Structure 1
Amino acid sequence: MKFGIGIGRTLTARESAKLARQADELGYEHCTFIDSQNLCRDSTAMMALAAAATTRIRIGQAVTNPYTRHASVLANVIATLDEISEGRIFLGIGAGGSAVAMVGKKPRPLTELAEYVQFFRDFTGGKETEWQGLPMRSEWAEREIPVLIGTHGAKSCRLAGRIADGVFLPGLSPEITTWKRARVAEGARSAGRELADLDVWSRGTVFVHDDVDEAREYLRSYAATSAYFLWRSVLSRTTPESEELAAMLPDAVLSDMAALAERYDWYQHEVVGAPHAAELSDRLIDCFAIYGPPSRCVDRLQELRETGADQVSLVLYGVPDQTAMISRFVEDVAARLG
């Protein structure tokens, strides 16, 4: 299996760069940064520091959006970061979450996300293009930068399968992973591709820790965030795909998600100890988190691998000692998975 890390929510910019360097040395595949202007340091500044501190690891956002920055501004900064890193940057992008909500906007239609992906590729590739009717081009960029789409619902999964180079799939349970991978595969086939043609990453919070109960408390809030998005994007709706996923999950998990959606607070987004996460059941947390002693983590990851998932992005926002965690994970978990 291959592993990446997701950081930036709780660290300073320089701490993030140091952790990226450590991850680079330990053999992790990528390092992603949160992009939410009210909640953390600027993602592009953290990416620049990480690029300067590393030599091998890939770097990107998980995820940004095309709405809080002008389309050309975002494309230009990503192309610049790709130049700084000597070709190790990817664009991680989605329809908009906390960053968009905190400027009083709603996630935009997926058709706009698809239009932006095409614009980004044209602009950073040095081609004549346009955005919202305005012709434009880059005077300097001629780069091929991978695009990974962050997904929650069936439509975004299919879109990623159809147009992206890769995809982030939040959720670490076999049920959620199986459902999402199937939707991505449908999108890929509609474009004459296969799931294997994409860089597919399961994504969730992971903490190797000897005390299961203590570890769970640190990860509770991130699990709440993932559950909220899945409920809003999929399980609160009445579509054949939503009903298919709902049938795969326990009724108690579904009712837990519905109650969470009523009390979710954006300013407590992924904050350890967030009040809206206090009443989550262990079963719900397990849908989005892997935690506990090494043997328990190995067992959970092996279950995930049986769904076809062989790449996992470890989100570390709630982990108290992230430096120790990424070392222990490599030594005590990854080494046993091959």
Structure 2
Amino acid sequence: MEFGVVLQTNPPASRTVDLARQAENHGFDYVWTFDSHLLWQEPFVIYSAILAATRKVVVGPMVTNPATRDWTVLASLFATLNEMYGNRTVCGIGRGDSAVRTLNGRPSNLATLRESIHVIRELANSRSVEHNERTVRFPWSRRSELEVWVAAYGPLALKLTGEVGDAFILQLADPDIAAWMIKAVRDSAEAVGRDPDAVKFCVAAPAYVGDGQSPAERAHMREQCRWFGGMVGNHVADIVARYGTDSAIPKALTDYIRDREGYDYNEHGRAGNSHTTFVPDEIVERFCLLGSPHEHVEKLRALEALGCTQFAAYLQHDNKEETMRLYGERIIPALAEPVVATASA
């Protein structure tokens, strides 16, 4: 299993770069960031600084969208970074949430998302593509390589992911829900003749590591990560509006938003925000990874058994450095494939 961190690009940018450097030093493979240009600083500028300050980590948005960024500009950003730093970028993309809603916009439809994935992938892999009734290509791009990872929740979005995505980003860490969604993506991939095992699966969720035994400490962990249930609830509300509450979507995903009354994007992704009291403790525990290193390892093993190939830890809480340190010293090594220096014949 690979590991990533998910950061917000809060000022100063040097702090984001420093956290990315720490992540690499602790053994993480990916550094992701939010992508909402009104709420936080511009991530692609900061990616350049992260790539210059690190050696191996791959960087990218979790997630961008087709509505607020021109697709060809996005592809050019990735291809330019790849030319500068050696194919160390990844494109996470979805229909759009905070970046579009803060502008009073609407998430893109799935047809638009599908077309944007095609255009971004072809251009950022140094190939030509048909766009706006023209054949276009970057004449300066020769060996750029880019995977496009699709974030999805609803049935039709999961179907699209299986059909066109290099990977599926699932933004919650509940094994039961993950099993249903991973199966939906794999079934979709197989239906169009793709190898379902070739689609990567990234589970992204808050991770908070501590002792986990004291009730007060456990309650603090939950409060620091409760914001995540509110963020997921935005997407779930869209799904319920479209499909109702009696669809095949797992009840654990839809039932908890019954008391949701609204959402303030000015507090998006922020610990201690004022509009996520509707999220019950059970959902925080199910959607996130909380507690001791042992608890993290056990849950990650369950997700890995379902097909998860990367865990990306959201670090929007008051324990960033210590969580990364314990992942590097205790959790990542426990999930690594054992390798020995010598073995008997």
- TM-score with structure 1 setting the length: 0.90
Matched, 1:220 2:226: yes
Q: Is the 8 A contact 1:7 1:316 kept in 2?
A: yes
In the alignment of these two chains, the number of paired residues is 330
Q: Is the 8 A contact 2:153 2:170 kept in 1?
A: yes
Q: CA deviation at 1:282?
A: 0.6
Q: Is the 8 A contact 1:71 1:131 kept in 2?
A: no
How big is each residue's C-alpha offset from its partner over 1:214-255, in whole Å with a ceiling of 9 and x where there is no partner? Answer: 11111111222013313323x444379x622334x2xxx744
1:121–1:303 distance in 2 versus 1, CA, 3 Å: closer
Q: CA deviation at 1:31?
A: 0.8
Tell me what 1:302 maps to: 301
Matched, 1:201 2:202: yes
What pairs up with 1:23-102 in 2 under 5 angstroms? 23-102=23-102
How big is each residue's C-alpha offset from its partner over 1:276-311, in whole Å with a ceiling of 9 and x where there is no partner? Answer: 112421112123211122233233323333433242
CA RMSD after TM alignment = 2.1
1:305–1:37 distance in 2 versus 1, CA, 3 Å: same
Q: Is the 8 A contact 2:296 2:331 kept in 1?
A: yes
Q: CA deviation at 1:186?
A: 1.8
Q: Is the 8 A contact 1:226 1:288 kept in 2?
A: no
Q: CA deviation at 1:35?
A: 0.5
Tell me what 1:244 maps to: 248
Tell me what 2:160 maps to: 159
Tell me what 2:181 maps to: 180
What pairs up with 1:131-150 in 2 under 5 angstroms? 131-142=131-142, 143-150=144-151
For structure 1, list consecutive stretches of 5 or more residues without a partner in the other structure: none
Tell me what 1:334 maps to: 332
1:178–1:11 distance in 2 versus 1, CA, 3 Å: farther
Partner SS for 2:92 = strand
How big is each residue's C-alpha offset from its partner over 1:120-140, in whole Å with a ceiling of 9 and x where there is no partner? Answer: 233234444343335533231
For structure 2, list consecutive stretches of 5 or more residues without a partner in the other structure: 212-216, 337-345
Q: Is the 8 A contact 2:9 2:42 kept in 1?
A: no
Tell me what 1:277 maps to: 276
Distance 1:285 1:5 in 2: 19
1:128–1:87 distance in 2 versus 1, CA, 3 Å: closer
Q: Is the 8 A contact 1:231 1:258 kept in 2?
A: no
Residue identity in the other structure for 1:136? V
Residue identity in the other structure for 2:300? L
Q: Is the 8 A contact 1:89 1:145 kept in 2?
A: yes
Q: CA deviation at 1:336?
A: 3.0
Identity %: 25
- TM-score with structure 2 setting the length: 0.88
Q: Is the 8 A contact 1:227 1:288 kept in 2?
A: no
1:220–1:283 distance in 2 versus 1, CA, 3 Å: same
Q: Is the 8 A contact 1:76 1:124 kept in 2?
A: yes
Tell me what 2:341 maps to: none
Q: Is the 8 A contact 1:52 1:84 kept in 2?
A: no
Partner SS for 2:138 = coil
Q: CA deviation at 1:146?
A: 1.1
Q: Is the 8 A contact 1:224 1:285 kept in 2?
A: no
Distance 2:283 2:241 in 1: 16
